[in-house]
């Protein structure tokens, strides 16, 4: 694999501080779209077409038009300021690819859990994963056309989130909206994580 011998957290690229972040969430929630929207390089994508074999295990409710799926990871890069560069790793959404999560989460300072209000239950696994590993995260509700609109407190209650976990709303197709999500995550890391307070300046 391209990153087998590469540690994006400790890499020193002309003295720029490199921060590894994860973009997680359920199948079809917009992870690849977010990485693609903000990346300043052509993103690495490991998408494959959905097949009839996968139809028996992939729940397409609410995303019937989806024809591809991430089978390993998405990777993108964005420079927040002259001192901070973000390396973004999008995780696969289906349960059968979860063996990738442990490797992808190594060295990550924080994560975005993307949520779709039509399928909020698909976010539980990601929330539990980051809570159990004490990785700071925020929940970003991707506002799909036609989806019911809820207040942040309603989303928080439905996902049983602690009060300190931010809930934000976004349209990951929009570059500025997707960037704002990352800024919210950096601010959260800076205020809650000891590693973040020492390594991640607020943008």
Q: What is the DSSP letter of 134?
A: T
Each residue's pLDDT tens digit, 93-145? 555 555 667 888 899 999 999 999 999 999 999 999 999 999 999 999 999 98
- Report the pLDDT averaged over residues 169-180: 96
Choice among 22-31, 139-148, 159-168, 192-201 with the minimum mean pLDDT: 192-201
Average pLDDT on 66-82 reads: 71
Instruction: Report d(CA 37, CA 42) in Å as an integer.
Output: 10
Contact 9, 19 (CB under 8 A): yes
Using CA atoms, how far apart are residues 106 and 21, in angstroms rounded to an integer? 10
Residue 46 has pLDDT above 90, yes or no: no
pLDDT tens column, 47-71: 545 444 444 444 545 544 544 454 4
- CA distances for 76 relative to 8, 96, 181, 187, angstroms: 12, 23, 15, 20
At 55 the pLDDT is: 45
The pTM assigned to this predicted structure is 0.77
Average pLDDT of span 12-33: 84
Q: Which pLDDT belongs to residue 94?
A: 56
Q: Which residue has the higher pLDDT, 188 or 201?
A: 188
Where does the pLDDT of residue 21 fall: very low under 50, low under 70, confident under 90, or very high at 90 and above?
very high
């Amino acid at each position: 694999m391209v990153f087998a011998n590469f540690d994006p957290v400790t890499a020193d690229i002309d003295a720029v501080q490199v921060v590894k972040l994860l973009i997680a969430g359920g199948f079809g929630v917009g992870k690849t779209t977010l990485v693609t929207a903000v990346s300043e390089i052509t993103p690495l994508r490991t998408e494959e077409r959905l097949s009839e074999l996968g139809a028996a295990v992939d729940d397409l409710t609410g995303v019937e038009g989806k024809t591809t799926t991430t089978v390993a990871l998405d990777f993108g890069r964005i420079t927040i300021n002259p001192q901070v560069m973000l390396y973004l790793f999008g995780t696969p959404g289906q349960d059968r690819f979860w063996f990738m999560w442990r490797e992808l989460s190594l060295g990550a300072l924080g994560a975005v859990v993307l949520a779709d209000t039509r399928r909020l239950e698909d976010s539980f696994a990601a929330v539990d994963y980051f809570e159990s590993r004490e990785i700071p995260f925020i929940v970003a509700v991707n506002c799909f056309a036609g989806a019911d609109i809820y207040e942040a407190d309603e989303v928080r209650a439905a996902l049983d989130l602690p009060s300190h976990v931010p809930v934000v709303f976004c349209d990951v197709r929009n570059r500025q909206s997707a960037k704002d999500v990352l800024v919210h995550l950096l601010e959260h890391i800076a205020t809650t994580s000891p590693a973040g307070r020492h390594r991640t300046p607020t943008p």
